Copies of this chain bind each other. A is one copy, B any other.
Amino acid sequence: MNAPLAASQIDPALLEGLRALLGARVSTSESDRAQHGRDESRHAARLPDAVCRAMSTEEVAAIVKLCAAHDTPIVAYGAGSSLEGALIPLKGGVSLDLTSMNQILSVRAEDLDATVQAGVTRKQLNAHLRDTGLFFPVDPGADATIGGMAATRASGTNAVRYGTMRENVVNLTVVLSDGRVIRTRSRAKKSSAGYDLTGLFVGQEGTLGIITEVTVRLYGIPEVMAAATCSFPTVEAAVDTVIQTIQMGIPISRVELLDDRAIEAVNAYSKLTLPVTPTLFFEFAGSQSGVEEQAAIVEELAKGEGASNWRWSTDADERSKLWQARHDIHWAIRALRPGAKGWGTDVCVPISALAEVIREVRKETSQQSFGTTLVGHVGDGNFHLGMQIDPDDPAEWAKANEINDRMVKHAIRLGGTCTGEHGVGIGKMKFMREEHGEALDVMHLIKNALDPKGIFNPGKVLPA
């Protein structure tokens, strides 16, 4: 959505200070501000009063000190790919663009870790690692910055095997609200030395501090990778197959569910002829014999649940063909209804509750005027219902809102969460009390202790 253009309200003294520090890397131009006022979500844009491009942790610290002295809000900006409005500067102020902090500072193959500046993207890191035999597994849809991924506790299709940013951040360099710089933790693989500040700053969405450097875990690239797809009579049968797979400890590297409507969308978009029925996409990794063994067990489990059409391959080209439908889903959904605005929901539930939540929401969405598709990181109990809304039809928005509300509350009742990987941002704040109860008050205590002036990303994550 476009932001309403408005003149920058920045305090002239602050602007002068920022210019003295950053020169031409401060901007109040409309185009810069407009670019930094919107994300990939349905949330209304809002322009920052200025955009600052920082090159180092020291510069970030100096910017924060200046802003703090002028009680001016600061919102960190990375790839701009937030899906819940996390980067929209609701109260104006400074959008702190960290994309120029794109240096890979060190790769330590022996320790299986790497330290990068916050603006390095995941694809950039993996391209850099290409010759080492190592990789960084966390893979949200977008080529997000690693700082942004840490700030939202991102994950993706690899999480079922490798975990999320929670498990894959070793430590962070963070600028606090008074401009002090801390490192959250040592580089030791494990530690019992005090409070887990790394965990605290992963997922805080820029409300407690600005992440400027990230040390992440790396993994050896598996010797062999293989893919399979498989059609199921029902969503339940697919989910049961996944539950059994995980209970048996099969170290599956990816397992994604597409419902019949998502399959329809990719068939149309990519001219495929997949059976229009719930489908699982698998990836296996390991040694040759390990992969074959895994696949044979999973095939057996799937067939026990009535699956058909088991197709598999270890060949890279064939693999990407099998996964094509999954890869195309974003564009396929968009193509369903040109001009529509997409809304990707993001609940995550204990896997025992997954089929029930999906069944309920599909019952409801089957009666709507707008198209919906369902794609799930089903090994983690996380799925995205995509709704294609006419941006000019308030009745559709209201209905979509209703569907999302009901689905989220259902998920929370069954032990789940309002967001598996997109973050709270603006859109999920209204569910925080219901999900957390009085634990939300503890989050407020921490926010007030670490950012007493409330300059970091105000109006986000914690409802007032």
A interface vs B, CB < 8 Å?
108-113, 133-134, 152-155, 159, 163-164, 166-167, 176, 180-200, 202-204, 208, 219-220, 222, 243, 246-249, 251, 286-287, 289-290, 293, 346, 348-352, 380-382, 411-412, 415-424, 428, 431-432, 435-443, 445-446, 448-450, 461-462
Contact A222 B195 (CB under 8 A): no
Contact A191 B419 (CB under 8 A): yes
Given A182-B439, A436-B193, are A188 and B111 also a contact pair (CB < 8 Å)?
no
Contact B247 A194 (CB under 8 A): no
Contact A189 B289 (CB under 8 A): no
Name the one of B191, B200, B435 contacting A193, with C-beta atoms under 8 angstroms.
B435
Given A350-B113, A351-B111, are A194 and B190 also a contact pair (CB < 8 Å)?
no
Nearest Cβ on chain B to A409's Cβ, whole angstroms: 13
Contact A348 B190 (CB under 8 A): yes
Contact B248 A220 (CB under 8 A): yes
Which chain B positions have C-beta within 8 A of A155?
190
Contact A436 B351 (CB under 8 A): no
Contact A194 B112 (CB under 8 A): no
Nearest Cβ on chain B to A55's Cβ, whole angstroms: 22
Which chain B positions have C-beta within 8 A of A428?
193
Which chain B positions have C-beta within 8 A of A446?
195, 200, 446, 449-450
Complex Cα distance, B382 from A134, in Å, reads 23
Excluding A188-B411, A191-B348, 13 further A-B contacts by CB distance (< 8 Å) are A110-B352, A184-B439, A186-B415, A186-B435, A187-B350, A188-B382, A188-B416, A192-B420, A193-B431, A195-B443, A220-B247, A222-B249, A445-B449
**Which residue among A163, A190, A197, A436 has the maximum number of chain B CB atoms within 10 Å of its CB?**
A190
Which chain B positions have C-beta within 8 A of A203?
192, 194-196
Question: Chain copies in the assembly?
Answer: 2
Q: What 3 pairs across the A-B complex have the smallest Cβ distances? A: A199-B199, A220-B249, A449-B449
Complex Cα distance, B439 from A183, in Å, reads 6
Contact A416 B182 (CB under 8 A): no
Q: Which chain B residue shows the least CB distance to A195?
A: B443
Complex Cα distance, B185 from A432, in Å, reads 11
Contact B186 A416 (CB under 8 A): yes
Which chain B positions have C-beta within 8 A of A418?
193
Nearest Cβ on chain B to A240's Cβ, whole angstroms: 9
Q: Which chain B residue shows the least CB distance to A293?
A: B287
Name the one of B181, B199, B352 contacting A166, with C-beta atoms under 8 angstroms.
B199
Nearest Cβ on chain B to A417's Cβ, whole angstroms: 4
Q: Which chain B residue shows the least CB distance to A292?
A: B289
Given A108-B350, A111-B351, are A421 and B190 also a contact pair (CB < 8 Å)?
yes
Name the one of B189, B197, B243 contacting A381, with C-beta atoms under 8 angstroms.
B189
Which chain B positions have C-beta within 8 A of A417?
185-186, 188, 191-193
Given A109-B247, A111-B350, A197-B442, are A190 and B415 also a contact pair (CB < 8 Å)?
no
Nearest Cβ on chain B to A114's Cβ, whole angstroms: 12
Pick 24 A–B contacts, CB within 8 A, sort by A.
A110-B352, A133-B247, A163-B167, A180-B438, A182-B436, A187-B416, A188-B381, A189-B350, A191-B419, A191-B420, A192-B422, A193-B436, A194-B424, A194-B436, A194-B440, A194-B461, A195-B203, A195-B204, A195-B442, A196-B200, A197-B442, A199-B200, A286-B290, A287-B293
Contact B193 A382 (CB under 8 A): no
Contact A190 B249 (CB under 8 A): no
Q: Which chain B residue shows the least CB distance to A239?
A: B110
Contact B420 A194 (CB under 8 A): no
Nearest Cβ on chain B to A450's Cβ, whole angstroms: 6
Which chain B positions have C-beta within 8 A of A380?
189-190
Complex Cα distance, B159 from A187, in Å, reads 16
